[in-house]
Amino acid sequence: MNILAKIPKEGFLKTTVERRDDLSSQDRIQLIRRGNEFFNGGNVEMARKIFLTLGYKDGIIRLGDLYYSKGEPLEALKMYKEADATAKVDEMTFQMAQVIKQWLK
C-alpha cells in the first residue's frame, strides 16, 4: 500500500473557510467582538469560523494556543500557519523534528 496515496489532495493544512475582505471596518470590528465572545464563552467552533473568515490573526493565534494546550498540535499548527505566526510555526517544527530525531535513535 502506498502511504502517500492517503494524503488528502488539499494537503494537511487546509482551512475550508474563505476570507471576506468586503466588510466595512465597523462590521469587521463587530464580528471580531462577536468572535471573541464565542471564544470566551467556549464556543470555539463559531469563533474559529469568524476569525478565519475575517483573517483575524490575533484570534487565530489564540485558537492555535488553545489547540496546543489541549494536545492538538496539528490543529494548532494549522492556525499558526494561517495567521503567519512564523515564530510559533518554527518552534513547533523544531519540537516535531526533535521527536522524529528521538524516534530515529
Q: What is the pLDDT of residues 34-81, one digit of tens each?
A: 999 999 999 999 999 999 999 999 999 999 999 999 999 999 999 999
Domains of the chain: 22-104 (1.25.40.10)
> For cell 492556525, what's the residue?
79
Which is nearest to 85 in space by CA: 51, 54, 61, 55? 61
Residue 31 has which C-alpha cell?
A: 464580528
The whole-model pTM stands at 0.77
What is the Cα–Cα distance from 8 to 72, expressed in whole angstroms?
A: 19
User: How much is the average pLDDT of 21-40?
Assistant: 90
* 42/37 Cα distance (integer angstroms): 9
3 has pLDDT over 80: no
Residue 42 region by backbone torsions, left for phi larger than 0, else alpha for psi between -120 and 50, else beta: left
DSSP string covering 13-63: ----------S-HHHHHHHHHHHHHHHHTT-HHHHHHHHHHHT-HHHHHHH
pLDDT band at 4 (very low <50, low <70, confident <90, very high): low
